[in-house]
A and B are shown apart, each in its own frame.
Chain A
Amino acid sequence: MYTQSMSVPDEAGSRVVQPLPSTEPADRMARFDARIDADGRIEPQDWMPEAYRKTLVRQISQHAHSEIVGMLPEGNWISRAPSLKRKAILIAKVQDEGGHGLYLYSAAETLGTSRDEMLNALHTGRAKYSSIFNYPTLTWADVGVIGWLVDGAAIMNQVPLCRCSYGPYARAMVRICKEESFHQRQGYEALMVMMRGTPAQREMVQDAVNRWWWKCLAMFGPPDTDSPNSAQGMRWGIKRVSNDDLRQQFVDATVPQAQLLGVSLPDPLLKWNEERQHYDYGPVDWDEFWHTVNGHGPYNKERLATRVKAHNEGAWVREAALAHARKMQERTLREAA
């Protein structure tokens, strides 16, 4: 999965992450900066500025939440997959997303936050997740398009994060990227099968592409001119490629894939620019993006409610496992005595 450049603030209504005041000791700060400049890695026990720690906790936990919430729109289709093969593939993919969430929560925990704290922030709406999941998956073609475009956009975002300056995050991303390429390929292949089907099936694919295209472009986050903290992220080696550059890479990679598939992308301004050697594309609707990020998209409430319900209904399992572990431990102690 699934990032939206993860530079959005958790506070509702805010579009810019407020910079944290720095009151760090100058000598430690200088050593830290030198290590970053030398493309070195920071590990959990190393000294780091508080702002670096907070930025990472926000980014990694938003990323983890996105993986977990991302299981919901696809999970809805497991029981409706068109064949046993597609069902097995979709279950494997959704299980991967759960695993990705776990790798990322673990990475965030090395920074001193706890799993409970992070889940609590998600469940009470204090933490953000990728707003791409606040839209409905209306047909089976949506599942294919999510694999092809949403996971495709996520891969573009995530590959540079494998070189992130924070060791545990970078290592989690290496693992995730390895698994992610199956996600994109299975989606594209599922769409190819539909495109060889009936006119109604082809129409279904085109409709799904039309609904998801612009949301995917928005996944890369606000334009560079509106991302005042990107520079800080770049300075710290948390972000490696700018939002607009990633978006351009995604457009350039996707246009030929769409042609091969036989679908059009819903942008009248999309055309090859010989001079730039890139595709030009039209403006993203950023007001719609922020509207959704701030909780007013079509499915924000539904997704969060489903997530909270799943967590609450699983409480007895978590408690029973702990009670069982305690009982076994007591029994071992009694037998030893």
Chain B
Amino acid sequence: MSSPSVLKEWPLWEVFVRSKQGLEHKHCGSLHAADAAQALLMARDVYTRRQEGVSIWVVPSKAIVASNPDEKGELFDPAADKIYRHPTFYEIPEQVGHM
């Protein structure tokens, strides 16, 4: 990322939109902007032109730390054999009703 042409590009931001009060912010895409204020304005124009949101987060893409898909196995396998973490693992007499 050191070539001069790259430095001329606006940095990349990830955009998260809360579609309505009470719901979580959800990732909806990304955009280039010079700074955070401009990223928010552009996110409004690009991702909420039809009232899709009541709140927006923008996060510099380079600030996101992601798990490595090549290590998916080691990372998530430990949960695979713990079926007793699910309610359906337990058999309860029908007479008990909903539990």
Contacts and interface: CB of A to CB of B under 8 A. Distances in A.
Contact of A106 (B5, B29, B50, B70): B29
B34 A102 contact: no
B44 to A, nearest CB: 11
Interface stretch (A57-65, A149-157, A210-218, A316-324): A316-324
A286 interface: no
B10 A318 contact: yes
A45 interface: yes
Contacts of A322: 8, 10, 34
Interface string A79-115: 0000000000000100110010011001001000011
A241 B6 CA distance: 37
Given A43-B69, A106-B29, A96 B49 contact: yes
A175 B46 CA distance: 11
Contacts of A270: none
A52 interface: no
Given A45-B66, A114-B6, A102 B38 contact: no
A324 B34 CA distance: 8
Contact of B49 (A95, A172, A318, A324): A95
A47 interface: yes
A325 B69 contact: no
Contact of A328 (B8, B35, B46): B35
B18 interface: no
Nearest to A102: B46
Interface in A101-142: 102-103, 106, 109, 114-116
Interface in A166-182: 171-172, 175, 179
Contacts of B68: 45
B32 A325 contact: no
Interface residues of B, number: 23
A321 B10 contact: yes
Interface in B16-50: 28-35, 38, 45-46, 49-50
Chain A facing B: main interface SS: helix
A153 to B, nearest CB: 23
Nearest to B46: A99
B9 interface: yes
B35 A116 contact: no
A42 to B, nearest CB: 10
A177 B8 CA distance: 32
A115 B69 contact: no
B16 to A, nearest CB: 14
A46 interface: yes
A325 B35 contact: yes
A116 B66 CA distance: 25
B35 A102 contact: no
A100 B55 CA distance: 21
A43 to B, nearest CB: 7
Interface of A: 43, 45-47, 92, 95-96, 99, 102-103, 106, 109, 114-116, 171-172, 175, 179, 318-319, 321-322, 324-325, 328-329
> Considering the complex of A and B, which 4 residue pairs feature the smallest CB-CB distances, nearest first?
A321-B34, A325-B35, A325-B34, A45-B69
